[in-house]
């Protein structure tokens, strides 16, 4: 049985992935959250519970050490923990931006460092990093969030090449709009000065986000991402990238084909 460590399972994509993977007889899944009380109900799916805060060194070290004590190594790491801090570049609270990077980037990187020695000793392993279509394109008002996901993409691409000789695979999952609490949290963080120069842009971004997340043709459920994570975890030869939702694939390819200025023009129409 392979051991799977998933971060950020208290809600949304992480919770759906933990529940789906824990039902597989070939996997022992460790669902984690800062407070295990938030994920106790996942025990009914067969998942094991561990406290884990990806912004705390002692917490990360203890979680990995406990799995290695029980099983020898972490076979699969799913770096899912993350959230969106939105707002204009000029007006965003830089301390909040730092906290976002601690979770989205530095926590992911440090936990990866902690599991890799065990994976190398075993001669096998798999790391699945949850990025976003926002790691391939940028919308106004989300620059700092997008920057964190671009960082995840770069780390993953370098890591994949570095660890392949040790039998370790690295995949990136890039969801589009997913109906979780993400949209609400991102909307709350917009918070521009109500009398400032970006108030019109912020209002337009807020309207567009609300409308898009409410549209079932654009936004999928967390389980749609969980199914893709399952493929990335269990495939004999996993893809380097998995884009989730048709709308996300269309946007990513549109940005790639049209280039920066044309995509900017589309955004000006959408967020006017």
Antiparallel, parallel or unpaired: β 27-33 and 2-6: parallel
Mean pLDDT, the chain cut into blocks of 10 residues (272 residues total)? 96 97 98 96 97 98 98 98 94 95 98 98 98 97 97 98 98 96 59 79 91 92 98 97 97 95 92 84
| Reported pTM | 0.94
Q: What is the pLDDT of residue 132?
A: 98
Q: Give the distance, in angstroms, between the CA of residue 15 and the centroid of all CA atoms in the same chain.
A: 12
Q: Give 236's contacts (C-beta < 8 A, 6+ positions apart).
A: none
Domain ranges of the chain: 2-270
Question: Which is the catalytic residue, given 145, 150, 213, 242?
Answer: 145
In angstroms, the CA 162 to CA 168 distance is 9
* Candidates 1.20.1630.10, 3.65.10.10, 3.40.50.720, 3.30.450.30; CATH matching 2-270: 3.40.50.720
Nearest by Cα to 233 from 60, 28, 80, 21: 21
Residue 144 is among the residues annotated as catalytic for this protein: no
What are the residue ranges of helices labelled H in the chain? 12-22, 57-71, 94-101, 108-122, 143-163, 182-190, 199-213, 222-234, 246-258, 260-270
Determine what percent of the chain falls in helix, strand and coil, rounding each to the nearest 5.
Answer: 55, 15, 30
Q: Give 80's contacts (C-beta < 8 A, 6+ positions apart).
A: 6, 7, 8, 9, 13, 14, 17, 130
DSSP 1: -
Q: What is the pLDDT of residue 272?
A: 80
């Amino acid at each position: 049985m392979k051991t799977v460590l998933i971060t950020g399972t208290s809600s949304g994509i992480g919770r759906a992935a933990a529940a789906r993977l824990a039902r597989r007889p070939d996997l022992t899944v460790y669902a984690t959250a800062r407070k295990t009380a938030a994920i106790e109900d996942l025990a009914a799916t067969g998942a094991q519970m561990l406290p884990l805060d990806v912004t705390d060194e002692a917490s990360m070290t203890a979680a990995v050490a406990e799995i290695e004590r029980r099983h020898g190594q972490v076979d699969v790491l799913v770096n899912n923990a993350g959230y969106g801090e939105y707002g204009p570049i000029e007006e965003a609270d830089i301390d909040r931006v730092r906290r976002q990077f601690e979770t989205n980037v530095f926590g992911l990187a440090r936990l990866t460092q902690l599991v890799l020695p065990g994976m190398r000793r075993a001669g096998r392993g798999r790391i699945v990093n949850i990025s976003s279509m926002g790691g391939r394109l940028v919308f106004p008002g989300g620059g700092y969030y997008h920057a964190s996901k671009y960082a995840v993409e770069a780390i993953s691409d370098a890591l994949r090449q570095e660890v392949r000789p040790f039998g370790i695979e690295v995949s990136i999952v890039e969801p589009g709009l997913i109906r979780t609490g993400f949209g609400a949290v991102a909307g709350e963080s917009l918070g521009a000065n109500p009398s400032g120069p970006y108030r019109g842009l912020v209002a337009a971004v807020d309207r567009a986000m609300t409308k898009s997340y409410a549209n079932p043709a654009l936004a999928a459920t967390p389980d749609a991402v969980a199914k893709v994570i399952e493929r990335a975890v269990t495939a004999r030869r996993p893809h380097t990238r998995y884009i989730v939702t048709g709308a996300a694939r269309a946007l990513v390819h549109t940005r790639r084909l049209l280039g920066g200025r044309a995509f900017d023009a589309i955004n000006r129409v959408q967020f006017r």
